[in-house]
Structures are given as structure tokens and as C-alpha cells.
Amino acid sequence: MVELAVSGVLYRNVRPIDSNSIFCIVKKLSSLEINSFYHYLIFCSYFKKTSSVAILDKKIVGFCLGFSHEKNNKVLFIWQVGVLPNYQNYGFAKTLISYLIDVNKAGAIQATIDKNNAVSEKLFQSISKIYRGELFEKKVYLKSNYEYLKKNETLIQIDIEEIGINL
């Protein structure tokens, strides 16, 4: 697997042992929905190529979990991105996603976001600018249709036109 070092931060694909740190990060972030520890262990075991971590001073400070679309493996679906509170607003989330786009040579990325989440909106808009890709939106999951859905989710897609961090 390819590793990338930027300003003392190491970006690499996940390993099963990383699930411990990722689970702890998620528990500290009120903006993310907490899944079971086993969920994170499975992601770190079976979706290693499409998931990444940011490591600073030998500590995982952020992560991005993703997977390839079943109908087109050039489409990378971003499941969850999280950065510890003390490390937010330094570009870790953007670089975690860019790392995965470049390593996987993704032709597009997709994610579902809550339209009330301004941080997610801003993150994906910045990714769109880096890759000069148009950002498309489509309402796909309405809580009125799903008994256990907590909020409406909008599918976003960014078509990738150029490699951003050139791995």
C-alpha cells in the first residue's frame, strides 16, 4: 500500500488494528453516527484499499472509511470521515479523501450527507474544487420513507477530472 507523508502527518490505508482508534474517535464526535465496534473492525479488514487514516506523532487523529461501488469500481463511496476535535480545521479530512481518490484512481466519489451539516457540505465542495469536478446532488433517503432513519440524506457525487495530490 502507498503511504503519503505531508507536514509530519502520515496518511495510509487502514489495518484491522486501527479499528480500535477509529471507534474511539467516532465516540468523541457528536456529528457522526456510532456503529458497533465490529462494524469498524470489518471495514478495516475488508475495505482496506478504500479506507485511510491520518497519523500524527504515532497517534491516529483521523480516518476515512469508503468502499467501491458495486456497479462501477471507479466510483468511491465515502461512508464516514472523522477527525479528533483538537485536529479539526487543519485539512486532515480533505487529505484523507484525496489520498483515497488518488490511490484508487477513482473516477468519481459519492457520499450521503445531511444537508444541515455545513461542515460536510464545505468539505465536499473543497474536494470538488481540488479535482475540478462538478458536484451533483440528489435526495435519496427521506426519513418519511424509512422508519429508523434519523434525518434526510442527500446523495452527492463529484466527478474527478484530475489527480489532486499526485501519488
Q: What is the pLDDT of residues 108-149, one digit of tens each?
A: 999 999 888 889 999 999 999 999 888 999 988 888 898 888
Give the CA distances from residue 54 to residues 3, 7, 79, 164, in Å, rounded to whole numbers and listed in that order: 10, 12, 16, 17
Sign of CA dihedral 14, 121, 125, 158: positive
Res 164: pLDDT = 46
Q: What is the mean pLDDT of the chain?
A: 91
Res 108: pLDDT = 94
DSSP-derived pairing of the beta strands 135-141 and 9-13 = unpaired
Domains and CATH numbers, the chain: 4-159 (3.40.630.30)
Q: Are 44 and 51 in contact (CB under 8 A)?
A: yes
Neighbours of 27 (CB within 10 A): 12
Res 166: pLDDT = 40
**Beta bridge mates, 113:** 154
| Mean pLDDT along residues 39-61 | 97
User: Does position 163 have pLDDT exceeding 80, yes or no?
Assistant: no
Res 162: pLDDT = 54
Q: How far apart are CA 44 and CA 90, in angstroms?
A: 24
DSSP 18-73: GHHHHHHHHHH-TTS----HHHHHHHHHH-STT-EEEEETTEEEEEEEEEE-SS-T
Res 67: pLDDT = 97
Helix (H, G, I), strand (E, B) or coil at 121: helix
Res 149: pLDDT = 87
Res 71: pLDDT = 85
